[in-house]
Amino acid sequence: MGNQPYYHSTRGEERCSPKEAILKGIASDGGLFVWDDLDQMQLDLHTFLQLDYPGMVQTLFRRLLWDYSEEELAACAQAAYGDTFDDERITPLVFAGKQPVLELFHGPTSAFKDVALCMLPQLMSRALAGKDEKVMIVTATSGDTGKAALSGFQDAENIGITVFYPQGKVSAIQRLQMVTQPGRNVSVCAIEGNFDDAQSSVKALFQSEGARRLKEEEHIVLSSANSINIGRLIPQIVYYFAAYQQLLQQEKIQWGEEISFCVPTGNFGNVLAGYYAKLLGLPIRHLIVAANENKVLDDFLRTGIYDRNRSFHTTISPSMDILISSNLERMLYYMCGKDSEKIRGWMDELARVGRYQVDEETLQKIRNVFLSGHCDNAQTSLQIERVYRSCGYVMDPHTAVGSYVLEQLALTEPCVLLSTASPYKFTRDVLKALQVEAAADDFVCMEQLSELTKTSIPQGLYALKSMEERFSDVIEVTDMEAYVCAKAKEVLK
Ligand SMILES: *Cc1c(COP(=O)(O)O)cnc(C)c1O
């Protein structure tokens, strides 16, 4: 194997190259692709932190995505970050009072998913080049992935995309963002159910009869733009380093000093990328998993018992309304001694009875790095108001969950709060938190927030006002397979 990290499934032996892993999205045995040598390929921090953002992207990708050429990586970095973000630092570090906040929402759809989803289509197109194959991306969204993926994959050559979102469980602006999406290769559909229903069905779809026939008869393979795809995760590692770099530049920390990150968490993709940054040599002390009322991860990190048998709460931080947190599987893999058999056992139990318990040794290792907390709706609102009144910084409800949890923990080391969405995606709830009577119209709400807080409305969001709605399908979860197959044939003719 040498130094070349072949990827393999968390649940077994299935091995593939980075390009294959990106095209496949998920392993055939239902596991997620990981690479074992990650902690033995540390970056040289001194040289790495001298680079600008695209430079860090290329250097990191050269290691982890070794079957891409230097030219391909340069072109990917340019296309993804050249002029798509409204801040040249891509992920600027700002201060809310004394609290460092890494703003991840300066991309085209105003959510942190853009950082990865501007890149994934670039990686996927190049993995596909020269193959007699087309790809249908199937994505379940809790609100933000959908739009970021649609925007990233719009009109990509030989790639189609279908997005499923839970009917009535995304914000008005999030829905509008998706159903107005232009492009000849895109479809958007609501399902009767919640995000977990959508995600479980999407995962099952990859192993379905419909998928097999698409591949055989039409040379169309299904893939995923969810954070189960390593092409989604790897781009997210970079901004942890970018945060450290900016703290050094602003002389807030000493060289080599350990810092922590607080991450509003749902599917565990973002915070896992932080763990990967730690394995790659960034001096990270703690990673804080901040949950909303769907606090399955907080409970797990306290007790070692993962139990999804509980009621699902619809909250004001909808992108974190998740009870089956896919990427936890990858973290468990590293923490349990890279033991695929253990992982298979736990994931089987999760599928069968919705619950598993990890051994004490694994739990201790996890708790050495990961701390956690949770925040209910009322506390989230209060936190938005409190932070705004104390220092004039407006945060979205997801970021506010992180902010609340971080304050409860009262850590001694410096800790960066990751801000995962623009407050303008959740204007109504933010106005309410600030005790302002919100107008009936969502765009007037944006104007209200802008006037009140003297911040500007992201262009992409305000532009939705004059865009036509293109998609209105609503289907049962059981019809997703047929829907995807029909759309694949239609858009990838
Ligand atoms: C997706 C999302 C999250 C959760 O991120 P994960 O990687 O799924 O843990 C948090 N906040 C916002 C705004 C999101 O869109």
DSSP 184-196: TTEEEEEEES-HH
CB burial of residue 21 (10 Å; 0-12, 13-18, 19+): buried
Are the C-beta atoms of residues 397 and 413 closer than 8 Å to each other?
no
Residue 339: helix, strand or coil by DSSP? coil
Determine the distance separating the centroid of ligand 1 and the alpha carbon of 384, expressed in angstroms.
Answer: 18
Beta bridge partners of 421: 111
Task: Determine the residue of 398, 424, 429 to mutate for testing ligand 1's pocket, defined as the one with the most ligand atoms within 8 A of the Cβ atom.
Answer: 398
Dist. CA 283–CA 278, nearest whole Å: 6
Six-digit token string for 345: 């056992």
Is residue 269 within 6 Å of ligand 1 at its C-beta?
A: yes
Q: Which atom belonging to ligand 1 lies closest to the Cα atom of 322?
A: 8
Which H or E element spans position 137? strand 134-140
What is the number of the ligand 1 atom nearest to the C-alpha of 266?
A: 9
Residue of 277, 278, 262 whose CA lies nearest to 104 = 262
CA of 191 to the centre of ligand 1 (A): 20
Give the distance (Å) from ligand 1 centre to CA of residue 241. 19
Q: Are 170 and 103 within 8 A, CB to CB?
A: no
Length of the chain: 493
Would you list the domain boundaries of the chain? 93-108+231-459
Distance 90 CA to ligand 1 centre (A): 18
CA nearest neighbour of 266 among 147, 136, 426, 142? 142
CA distance 274 to 239: 9
Residues 6+ apart with CB under 8 A from 164: 138, 139, 140, 141, 146, 189, 190, 191, 198, 201, 202, 480
Distance CA 206, CA 209 (A): 9
Q: Give the model's pLDDT for residue 3.
A: 53
Residues whose CB is less than 8 angstroms from the CB of residue 430 and which lie 6 or more positions away in sequence, other chains included: 384, 394, 396, 397, 423, 449
- d(CA 437, CA 416) in angstroms, rounded, equals 32
CA of 143 to the centre of ligand 1 (A): 9
Query: Atom of ligand 1 at shortest distance to CA of 227?
Result: 7
Determine the distance separating the centroid of ligand 1 and the alpha carbon of 266, expressed in angstroms.
5
Amino acid at 222: L
Please give the number of the atom of ligand 1 that sits closest to the Cα of 113. 15
CB of 113 closer than 6 angstroms to any ligand 1 atom: yes
- 3-class DSSP assignment, residue 407: helix
Amino acid at 390: S
Of 248, 316, 259, the residue nearest 283 (C-alpha): 259
**Cα 469 to middle of ligand 1, angstroms:** 25
- The angle subtended at Cα 270 by Cα 100 and Cα 255, nearest 5°, is 45
201 lines ligand 1 (CB under 6 A): no
Residue 63 confidence (pLDDT): 93
The predicted pLDDT at position 424 comes to 96
Contact 167, 192 (CB under 8 A): yes
In the three-class reduction of DSSP (H, G, I as helix; E, B as strand; rest coil), residue 99 is classed as: strand
Query: If we measure between CA atoms, which residue out of 300, 340, 341, 357 comes closest to residue 323?
Result: 300
Would you say the CB of residue 487 lies under 6 angstroms from ligand 1?
no
**Residue 47 Cα, ligand 1 centroid: separation in angstroms?**
30
Contacts of 446 (CB under 8 A, 6+ apart): 424, 427, 457, 461, 462
**Which ligand 1 atom is the nearest neighbour of the CA of 143?**
15
**Which residue has tokens 């599928």?**
351
Nearest CA to ligand 1 atom 15: 144
Say what the alpha-carbon torsion angle 275, 281, 282, 285 is, to the nearest 10 degrees: 60
pTM value is: 0.95
User: 328 alpha carbon to ligand 1 midpoint, in Å?
Assistant: 14
107 pocket-lining for ligand 1 (C-beta < 6 Å)? no
Q: Is 298 helix (H, G, I), strand (E, B) or coil?
A: helix
Q: Which of ligand 1's atoms lies nearest the C-alpha of 396?
A: 13
* Cβ–Cβ under 8 Å, residues 307 and 324: no
With a 6 Å cutoff on the Cβ, whether 35 touches ligand 1 is: no
Cβ of 265 less than 6 Å from ligand 1? yes
Taking only the tens of pLDDT, the chain with its 493 residues reads 445 679 999 999 899 999 999 999 999 999 999 999 888 889 999 999 999 999 999 999 999 999 999 999 999 999 999 999 999 999 999 999 999 999 999 999 999 999 999 999 999 999 999 899 999 999 999 889 999 999 999 999 999 999 999 999 998 999 999 999 999 999 999 999 998 899 899 989 998 999 999 999 999 999 989 889 999 999 999 999 999 999 999 999 999 999 999 999 999 999 999 999 999 999 999 999 999 999 999 999 999 999 999 999 999 999 999 999 999 999 999 999 999 999 999 999 999 999 999 999 999 999 999 999 999 999 999 999 999 999 999 999 999 999 999 999 999 999 999 999 999 999 999 999 999 999 999 999 999 999 999 999 999 999 999 999 999 999 999 999 999 999 999 999 8
Q: Residue 144 CA: which ligand 1 atom is closest?
A: 15
Cβ of 232 less than 6 Å from ligand 1: no
109 Cβ inside 6 Å of ligand 1: no
Q: What is the pLDDT of residue 402?
A: 98
- With CA atoms as reference, report the closest residue to 295 among 279, 276, 278, 315: 315
Q: Residue 190: which residues within 8 A CB-CB, separation 6 or more?
A: 164, 165, 166, 167, 473, 474, 475
Question: Ligand 1: distance of its center to the CA of 421 in Å?
Answer: 8
Q: Are the beta carbons of 232 and 269 closer than 8 angstroms?
A: yes
**CB 224 within 8 Å of CB 25:** yes
What pLDDT is recorded for position 4?
64
CA of 380 to the centre of ligand 1 (A): 16
Strand partners, 2: none
Report the distance separating Cα 50 and Cα 211, nearest Å: 45
486 token code pair? 């029909």
Q: Which one of 150, 319, 395 would you pick to mutate in the ligand 1 pocket, going by the greatest count of ligand atoms within 8 A of its CB?
A: 319
Q: Is 319 in the pocket of ligand 1 (CB under 6 A)?
A: yes
Task: Give residue 2's pLDDT.
Answer: 44
At 9, list the tokens.
Answer: 């499934």
Architecture in CATH of 93-108+231-459: 3-Layer(aba) Sandwich (3.40)
Q: Which amino acid is at 416?
A: V
